[in-house]
Amino acid sequence: MLTLELCVAGAMLISLIIYMLTGGADFGGGIWDLFATGRRAKAQRDLITQAIAPIWEANHVWLIVIIVLLFVAFPVGFAAISTALHIPLTLMLIGIVLRGSAFVFRTYDDQSDTTHRRWSRVFAIGSIITPVMLGITLGAVASGTIHVDIESGQVDTDFISAWFAPFPFAIGFFTLTLCALLAAVYLTLETDDTELQEDFRCRALIAAVSVGAMAGLSFILSAEGAPTIRRGLASAAWSIPFQILTGAVALWAIWTLWNRQFRLARILVPIQVTLIVFGWGVAQYPYLVTPDLTFSNTAAPDAVLRPMLIVLGVGGVLLIPAFWYLYAVFKGAARKTKQTEEEVGPYPDNSA
């Protein structure tokens, strides 16, 4: 039965997927900024900056949507997560702030090599910290180590053991590899330079293999680290066909990268990431925080959920077209500027 709390949970899952496909790719850009090497290192960093600069801050809207929905619709769950996992959540917030600040200072500060390298390093570190902490938080929520008294809302936690464990860290680095994969694939179509395309094609292939390795490691560690998720992914009637589908899409994406079919890869890799996040959400259901908090026993009253869903629907009608327009305007402008610079140079001579 499609209940109000299930509708809110679905909206949160969809927002998480969109955040991974947009904000996650921005984090991945920071990862590859750190590993820019060779004689084209500066060109690689310039391409990353050009790709994410126009719209990257806007992508955090989806994270804000998740937090607001969690706070309003599932206040007990919000309190439990923010209490038991306040350390990784704080580190994630610090990563977001550091990353944003460094990106701006790198652009407008003194452009000497020393200054540029310093801000690039901070930008890259923030880009790594944030997805790792996001994954650790999701892994800890699913691990079953956060215990909450439903009646009093008291959280039984030492603030460390719930997240400082092998399974949450595996999910953290799994998330990192997904971000790196998305960014590398997106960047292959952000340039017409075949050498740069090859650079990011190689990085995409490396990231794709890393995603497979971290997925396997996470599944192995889930036997003890998150038994509820393990049962959902291994025993449910839907799980085997779903995993076969996800694996097939992943292999197809690798094949397209190998054969330099970048446009098809840019379709398949987001589908792969969507399936992975969606599968996690379905396997996690009905728990918001395993093993004590479900979506039903932590949901706010219907008098709160119903108007919130109405506002969410109205907001979605406004937000999604606005985002589409934002991407079209700024990405289109970036491509037009790049084309003009290639034709006449970045500083055309107007003396004539």
Residue 323 within any structural domain of the chain: no
pLDDT of 258 > 60? The answer is: yes
What are the residue ranges of helices labelled H in the chain?
4-34, 41-52, 61-73, 75-84, 86-108, 113-143, 166-188, 194-225, 227-234, 239-258, 262-284, 295-298, 302-344
The CATH number for 221's domain is 1.20.1630
Cis amide bond preceding 307, omega within 30: no
pLDDT mean over 221-249: 90
pLDDT of 350 > 50? The answer is: no
Read off φ and ψ for residue 3, nearest 5 degrees.
-90, 170
Q: What is the rounded CA–CA span in Å between residue 25 and residue 52?
A: 9
Range of the domain at 33: 4-305
Read off φ and ψ for residue 265, nearest 5 degrees.
-60, -35
pLDDT of 348 > 50? The answer is: no
Count of the separate structural domains present in the chain: 1
CB atoms < 10 A from the CB of 162, how many? 27
pLDDT of 287 > 70? The answer is: yes
Residue 348 within any structural domain of the chain: no
Hunting for tokens 């600069």 — which residue is that?
53
pLDDT band at 335 (very low <50, low <70, confident <90, very high): low
Residue 315 within any structural domain of the chain: no
Instruction: Go through the chain and tell me how many residues it has.
Output: 352
pLDDT mean over 86-110: 87
Q: What is the rounded CA–CA span in Å between residue 227 and residue 225?
A: 6
Q: What is the rounded CA–CA span in Å between residue 289 and residue 274?
A: 21
pLDDT of residue 101: 87
pLDDT of 55 > 80? The answer is: no
pLDDT of 337 > 90? The answer is: no
Closest C-alpha to 130, from 83, 167, 178: 178
Residue 46 within any structural domain of the chain: yes
Residue 85 within any structural domain of the chain: yes
pLDDT of 294 > 80? The answer is: yes
In terms of pLDDT, which residue wins out, 2 or 312? 312
Residue 204 within any structural domain of the chain: yes
pLDDT of residue 328: 80
Closest C-alpha to 97, from 51, 50, 52, 130: 130
Q: For 327, how many CA atoms within 13 A lie in the half-sphere containing its CB?
A: 7
pLDDT of 304 > 90? The answer is: yes
Question: 3-class DSSP state for residue 293?
Answer: strand
Residue 316 within any structural domain of the chain: no
- Tens of pLDDT, residues 64-88: 999 999 999 999 999 999 999 999 9
Q: What is the rounded CA–CA span in Å between residue 41 and residue 308?
A: 47
Q: What is the rounded CA–CA span in Å between residue 80 and residue 34?
A: 35
Give bridge partners of residue 148 from the DSSP assignment: 155
Tokens of 304: 């709160």
pLDDT mean over 278-293: 93
Q: What percent of the chain has pLDDT over 70?
A: 92
Give bridge partners of residue 156 from the DSSP assignment: 147
pLDDT mean over 104-123: 79
Residue 334 within any structural domain of the chain: no
Residue 134 sits at the vertex; the CA angle it makes with 32 and 214, to the nearest 5 degrees, is 65
pTM, two decimals, is 0.90
pLDDT of residue 346: 47
Tokens of 54: 């126009």
pLDDT of 312 > 90? The answer is: yes
pLDDT of 284 > 80? The answer is: yes
